Amino acid sequence: MYDAIILAGGENNEPLVHYTSQPYEAMIDISGKPMVEFVARALAACPQISRIFVAGPPEELAKCSFPEQTVIVAGGRTIMDTISLGMKALEHERLTLVVTADIPLITPAAIEDFLAQCAGVQADLYYPIVARSDHERRFPGNQRTYARLREGTFTGGNIFLVNPRIVPHCMEVAERIFANRKNPFKLCCQLGWTFVVKFVLGILKLNQVEKRAGEILGIQGAVIRSQYAELGIDVDKPSDLELVRNCFSQGC
């Protein structure tokens, strides 16, 4: 069993601020409900998930209808601060699932598949990637940030499995990596210029990224290949919001 933390403290800034008056992204309306509710319900439907901690603005989150096993905790100033506060609320150091609040299309099947793959690998941090072909098959026309590697072209997911013990000593580096997760070039610069050259040439290998990131953070990392494109659909621009709203209205 795993506890889960939903990161729900992000403010609604450009460019979505012109399309919704909600002050926080987690509270943006999707089919009459705050989108964080869909994430919480998907987690609650997974047999592997025990408690669900929603970290963000308590007064706003109190307006939501969450599953019974949900606990609301105050978020922090940054994403890593919020993760740290959520980890403290756990009061244990077992592997914990961390999910962003802006992926309302996530499904129990996607979560269960990710956890099942993680169970076969020994690591401190597990991060999913989705092949471009899988993403475009599921959501044709949707624009994502992709990285071209030796094994193929991939986009990142928005769910992580984390060992709470690693959080305190790698917060600063992890925050920089997280901030650049949608900018492959800047991410490669953090990993080293050799990586930049290999990335530009398209010959960088997944296991090389995995190993180098682990060295920088001082942890054992694992990249998990997922076929579930829902992990990569985060609502951070108008086209994403339109896609998600259309998916729910059409029952897809």
Amino acid at 134: D
pLDDT digits (tens, 9 = 90+) for 147-202: 888 899 999 999 999 999 988 877 777 777 667 766 777 777 776 777 777 777 77
* CA nearest to 23, candidates 53, 55, 59, 48: 59
Please give the Cα distance from 144 to 197 (Å, whole number): 22
Task: Give the CA angle between residues 249, 52, 101 to the nearest 5°.
Answer: 45
Would you say residue 50 has pLDDT above 70? yes
The predicted model scores a pTM of: 0.90
- Ordered DSSP codes for 43-82: HHT-TTEEEEEEEE-HHHHTTS---TTEEEEE--SSHHHH
| Mean of pLDDT values over 84-105 | 94
Q: Give the confidence band of 107 by pLDDT, cuts at 50, 70, 90.
A: very high
In whole angstroms, give the CA distance from residue 115 to residue 92: 19
**Mean pLDDT along residues 74-90:** 90
Q: Provide the residue ranges of all domains of the chain, joining segments of one domain with +.
A: 2-250
Looking at residues 71-89, what average pLDDT do you find?
A: 90
Tell me the CATH class for 2-250: alpha beta
At residue 16, the pLDDT reads 79
pLDDT score for 218: 84
CA of residue 115 relative to chain centroid, distance: 14
Q: At which residue do the structure tokens 């044709």 appear?
A: 140
Q: Return the pLDDT at 223.
A: 93
Lowest mean pLDDT among 16-30, 49-63, 149-163, 184-198: 184-198
> Which whole number is the average pLDDT over 209-237?
89
pLDDT at 125 over 80: yes
Mean pLDDT, the chain, whole residue set: 89
Q: Which residue has the higher pLDDT, 24 or 12?
A: 24
Q: Is the pLDDT of residue 15 over 70?
A: yes
d(CA 16, CA 82): 22
Q: For residue 199, what is the enclosing H or E element?
A: helix 193-201
The pLDDT of residue 181 is 64
Confidence at residue 182, expressed as pLDDT on a 0 to 100 scale = 66
For the segment 25-46, the average pLDDT, to the nearest whole number, is 95
